[in-house]
Structure 1
Amino acid sequence: MSYERHGGGFSGGGRRRRRDDYDNYEHRREAQESPDQKLKAAIIKFGEVDAEQELPQLAAKLHSQELSSVPAIAEGFRLAVTEQPYKIPSYAALLYDLSIPANNMNHAVGGEDDEPAGFTKPSLGRLILDDFWKGFQAYLDKLAWRETRLCIHFFAHLTVTNLISPQSMLGLLQSFTAVLDEFGVSNGRAKRAARCAVEGLMRACALFLACYSAGRVLKEHSASAVIEMIASVQAYNDSVVAAKWLVHPLANLQFPKIPVDHADEILDCAVAALKTLDLSDFVDVSSIFPQPYASMSTSTIVPFDLPSVLVPPEVIELEVLSTESSGDAPIKKEEWPEYMLSLFDNDVTPDPKSPAGYAVRSDIIDIVEIFEVNRKECARILVEYPKWSVKGTFKPRPGDPTDSPDRIPLLGRDWQLESTLIETILGAQFLLPESPAKPIYYTALITELCKLSPPTVGPAVGKSIRKLYAYCADGLDPEVLRRFAEWFSVHMSNFGFQWVWKEWVPDLALPAQHPKRIFAHRALELEVRLSYYDRVLKTLPQQFQEPSAGAMPDQAPGPTYEYEDPSSPHYDAAQGVLNQLRSRTKPEDVLVYLDTLKNTLSETADVSDDPDTVVRSVTIQSLLHIGARSFSHFLNAVERYLIVLRALSGSPEAKIHVLELVSSFWQRSRQMVGIVFDKLMQYQIVEPADVVAWVFAHNAGGLNWDLLRGAIDKANGRVVVARRRVATLRKEDDDAHARAKANANGGADAAAMEVDAETMHDPQVTQSEDSPQLVSALKAYAAVTREQKSTLARVLEGFIHALRSSSDTARRVITADAWDGHASWTDEEWVAWRTWMWYKHFCRVYSPYLRSFVTTLTVVSFSSLETATDDAAVLLKRIWRMSTGQE
Structure 2
Amino acid sequence: MILVDYEEESGYREARPHFAKRQRLPPVVMLCKDMMPDIRTMGESAKAFPEDIKFLSEAIVHEFGNDEYFNNALLKTFRAVILEQPHKQPGIALLTMVLNSAKPEIGKSILNYFFDQIQELLNSSHDPDYQTKSHDIGPWDKIKLVLRFISILSPMVVPDDLLDLYKKLLQFTVDLNNSTEKRSPLSEAIYTNTLLNVPYLFYFNSDNRESLKTLVEELLTFVENEYNIKDTDIQLLKAYNKNPPYEPVHWVTAVLPNVKNALANDMQQLGELFLNYDTLLTQQIAIHSFNEPLNLPTLEQIIPFSGLDKGFGSVDSLWKTPRYSFEVYLPNSVGPFSTVIPTTTFTGMLFQDILLDIIESMEFNRLEVARQLVTIDLFFTAGIFTEPGLPVAQLLEQFEENPARSTFKIEDLAVGAILELTFKLPTVSQSFAYFYSLLVEICKNSPKAIAPVFGRAFRYFYNNLDKLDFELKARFLDWFSIQMSNFNFSWKWNEWEVDSIQWNRTIYNPRMIFIKNLIRKELRLTSNSADVEESVTDEFQKFMDPSFIKREDLVNYYSSLFKDFQLDEGDLRNNELYFRSPSFPFHENVTQLLDFFHKQPDTRSVAELEGILKDIAVNHGSIIEDFNRFTVTLLIQTIVFCGSRSLSHANKYIDDSREELKAIMAQVEVSPQIKDQWICEAVVRYWNSNSQTGYLILDSLRYNGLISNESVLNFSLTEQCGVNMSLVDSTSIESIFRILNELAMAADKDVGSFEYVFNRLVGAANEVLSQLNTIDPIVVPDLDQDIQATDEELPSLDLAWKYEAIMGFLKSVLRKYSDEFSVLTEKFINDVLQGVPHEPTKQQLNRWISEVSEL
CA distance, structure 2, for counterparts of residue 700 and residue 462 of structure 1: 31
Counterparts in 2 of 1:245-264, with a 5 A limit? 245-252=235-242, 259=244, 261=246, 263-264=248-249
Counterparts in 2 of 1:834-849, with a 5 A limit? 834-849=805-820
Q: In the alignment, does 2:123 pair up with 1:136?
A: no
CA distance, structure 2, for counterparts of residue 859 and residue 570 of structure 1: 55
Q: In the alignment, does 2:479 pair up with 1:497?
A: no
Residues 543, 847 of structure 1: alpha-carbon distance in 2 compared, 3 angstrom cutoff: same
Q: In the alignment, does 2:329 pair up with 1:354?
A: no
| The 10-residue stretch of structure 1 (361-370 or 278-287) with the greater mean CA deviation from structure 2 | 278-287
Cα deviation code 1:167-216 (max 9, x no counterpart): 32431441453333343777642443233222123433xx36x8479967
Aligned to 2:792: none
Residues 217, 524 of structure 1: alpha-carbon distance in 2 compared, 3 angstrom cutoff: farther
CA distance, structure 1, for counterparts of residue 55 and residue 738 of structure 2: 58
CA distance, structure 1, for counterparts of residue 776 and residue 289 of structure 2: 58
Residues 136, 351 of structure 1: alpha-carbon distance in 2 compared, 3 angstrom cutoff: same
Q: In the alignment, does 2:851 pair up with 1:865?
A: no
Over the residues paired in the alignment, what is the CA RMSD in angstroms? 4.2
In structure 1, list runs of 5 or more residues that go unmatched.
1-23, 105-121, 253-257, 323-330, 720-783
Residues 344, 861 of structure 1: alpha-carbon distance in 2 compared, 3 angstrom cutoff: closer
Q: Is 1:521–1:552's contact at 8 Å kept on the other side of the alignment?
A: no
CA distance, structure 2, for counterparts of residue 289 and residue 199 of structure 1: 14
Q: Is 2:118–2:143's contact at 8 Å kept on the other side of the alignment?
A: yes
Aligned to 1:450: 443
Residues 584, 445 of structure 1: alpha-carbon distance in 2 compared, 3 angstrom cutoff: same
Aligned to 1:728: none
CA distance, structure 2, for counterparts of residue 231 and residue 845 of structure 1: 36
CA distance, structure 2, for counterparts of residue 183 and residue 439 of structure 1: 34
Aligned to 2:3: none
Residues 678, 219 of structure 1: alpha-carbon distance in 2 compared, 3 angstrom cutoff: farther
Match of 1:796 among 729, 740, 758: 758
Q: Is 1:177–1:229's contact at 8 Å kept on the other side of the alignment?
A: no
Aligned to 1:685: 706
Residues 525, 89 of structure 1: alpha-carbon distance in 2 compared, 3 angstrom cutoff: same
CA distance, structure 1, for counterparts of residue 809 and residue 696 of structure 2: 21
Task: Please state whether the residue corresponding to 2:326 is helix, strand or coil.
Answer: strand
Amino acid at match of 1:362: D
Residues 875, 294 of structure 1: alpha-carbon distance in 2 compared, 3 angstrom cutoff: farther
CA distance, structure 2, for counterparts of residue 180 and residue 294 of structure 1: 43
CA distance, structure 2, for counterparts of residue 642 and residue 535 of structure 1: 39
Cα deviation code 1:138-180 (max 9, x no counterpart): 2233332322221122122223665654532431441453333
Amino acid at match of 1:180: N
Task: Please state whether the residue corresponding to 1:826 is helix, strand or coil.
Answer: helix
CA distance, structure 1, for counterparts of residue 442 and residue 573 of structure 2: 33
CA distance, structure 2, for counterparts of residue 317 and residue 213 of structure 1: 39
Amino acid at match of 1:458: A
Residues 564, 319 of structure 1: alpha-carbon distance in 2 compared, 3 angstrom cutoff: farther
Residues 799, 182 of structure 1: alpha-carbon distance in 2 compared, 3 angstrom cutoff: farther
Alignment: residue pair count: 751
Aligned to 1:545: 541
Cα deviation code 1:242-292 (max 9, x no counterpart): 2xx22221223xxxxx84707555545545533544776855432233342
CA distance, structure 2, for counterparts of residue 396 and residue 150 of structure 1: 29
Counterparts in 2 of 1:182-581, with a 5 A limit? 182-183=179-180, 188-204=185-201, 207=202, 211=205, 220-221=214-215, 223-230=217-224, 235-236=228-229, 238-242=230-234, 245-252=235-242, 259=244, 261=246, 263-264=248-249, 266-267=251-252, 269-271=254-256, 273-274=258-259, 276-277=261-262, 283-293=268-278, 296=281, 301-305=286-290, 307-311=293-297, 313=302, 335=321, 337-345=323-331, 347-397=338-388, 413-473=406-466, 475-508=467-500, 509-510=502-503, 511-531=506-526, 532-547=528-543, 558-559=574-575, 561-565=577-581, 574-581=590-597
Aligned to 1:65: 63
TM-score (norm 1): 0.75
Amino acid at match of 2:93: A
Task: Please state whether the residue corresponding to 1:47 is helix, strand or coil.
Answer: coil
Counterparts in 2 of 1:72-87, with a 5 A limit? 72-87=73-88
CA distance, structure 2, for counterparts of residue 71 and residue 801 of structure 1: 64
Cα deviation code 1:407-457 (max 9, x no counterpart): x99967342222222222222212222322222222222222222222222
Q: In the alignment, does 2:711 pair up with 1:696?
A: no
CA distance, structure 1, for counterparts of residue 738 and residue 417 of structure 2: 29
Q: In the alignment, does 2:199 pair up with 1:171?
A: no
Task: Please state whether the residue corresponding to 2:387 is helix, strand or coil.
Answer: coil
Counterparts in 2 of 1:768-847, with a 5 A limit? 784-785=748-749, 788-808=750-770, 815=777, 818=780, 823=787, 826-847=797-818
Cα deviation code 1:108-163 (max 9, x no counterpart): xxxxxxxxxxxxxx532112211221122222333323222211221222236656
In the TM superposition, residue 375 of structure 1 has moved relative to its aligned partner by 1.5
Q: In the alignment, does 2:673 pair up with 1:673?
A: no
Task: Please state whether the residue corresponding to 2:277 is helix, strand or coil.
Answer: coil
Cα deviation code 1:756-795 (max 9, x no counterpart): xxxxxxxxxxxxxxxxxxxxxxxxxxxx43xx22222222
CA distance, structure 2, for counterparts of residue 420 and residue 271 of structure 1: 22
Q: Is 1:199–1:270's contact at 8 Å kept on the other side of the alignment?
A: yes
CA distance, structure 2, for counterparts of residue 533 and residue 410 of structure 1: 48
Q: Is 1:663–1:673's contact at 8 Å kept on the other side of the alignment?
A: yes
Match of 1:880 among 839, 849, 854: 849
Aligned to 2:659: 643
Q: Is 1:161–1:298's contact at 8 Å kept on the other side of the alignment?
A: no
Residues 128, 320 of structure 1: alpha-carbon distance in 2 compared, 3 angstrom cutoff: closer
Cα deviation code 1:655-693 (max 9, x no counterpart): 232112212222221211221122122222223233223
Counterparts in 2 of 1:102-141, with a 5 A limit? 103-104=102-103, 123-141=105-123
CA distance, structure 2, for counterparts of residue 342 and residue 213 of structure 1: 43
CA distance, structure 2, for counterparts of residue 812 and residue 272 of structure 1: 46
CA distance, structure 2, for counterparts of residue 605 and residue 622 of structure 1: 19
Residues 605, 171 of structure 1: alpha-carbon distance in 2 compared, 3 angstrom cutoff: closer
Residues 815, 160 of structure 1: alpha-carbon distance in 2 compared, 3 angstrom cutoff: farther
Residues 140, 702 of structure 1: alpha-carbon distance in 2 compared, 3 angstrom cutoff: same
Residues 554, 540 of structure 1: alpha-carbon distance in 2 compared, 3 angstrom cutoff: farther
Q: In the alignment, does 2:144 pair up with 1:149?
A: yes
In percent, how many aligned pairs have the same letter?
Answer: 18
Amino acid at match of 2:178: D
Counterparts in 2 of 1:25-44, with a 5 A limit? 28=24, 33=29, 41=37, 43-44=39-40
Q: Is 1:99–1:123's contact at 8 Å kept on the other side of the alignment?
A: yes
Residues 38, 522 of structure 1: alpha-carbon distance in 2 compared, 3 angstrom cutoff: same
Cα deviation code 1:275-315 (max 9, x no counterpart): 54477685543223334247748975435358334256267
In structure 2, list runs of 5 or more residues that go unmatched.
1-19, 126-138, 312-316, 332-336, 552-571, 667-671, 790-795
Aligned to 1:119: none
Cα deviation code 1:58-83 (max 9, x no counterpart): 12222223536455543332222112
Task: Please state whether the residue corresponding to 2:272 is helix, strand or coil.
Answer: coil
Aligned to 1:750: none
CA distance, structure 2, for counterparts of residue 410 and residue 139 of structure 1: 46
Q: Is 1:620–1:661's contact at 8 Å kept on the other side of the alignment?
A: yes
| The 10-residue stretch of structure 1 (547-556 or 584-593) with the greater mean CA deviation from structure 2 | 547-556
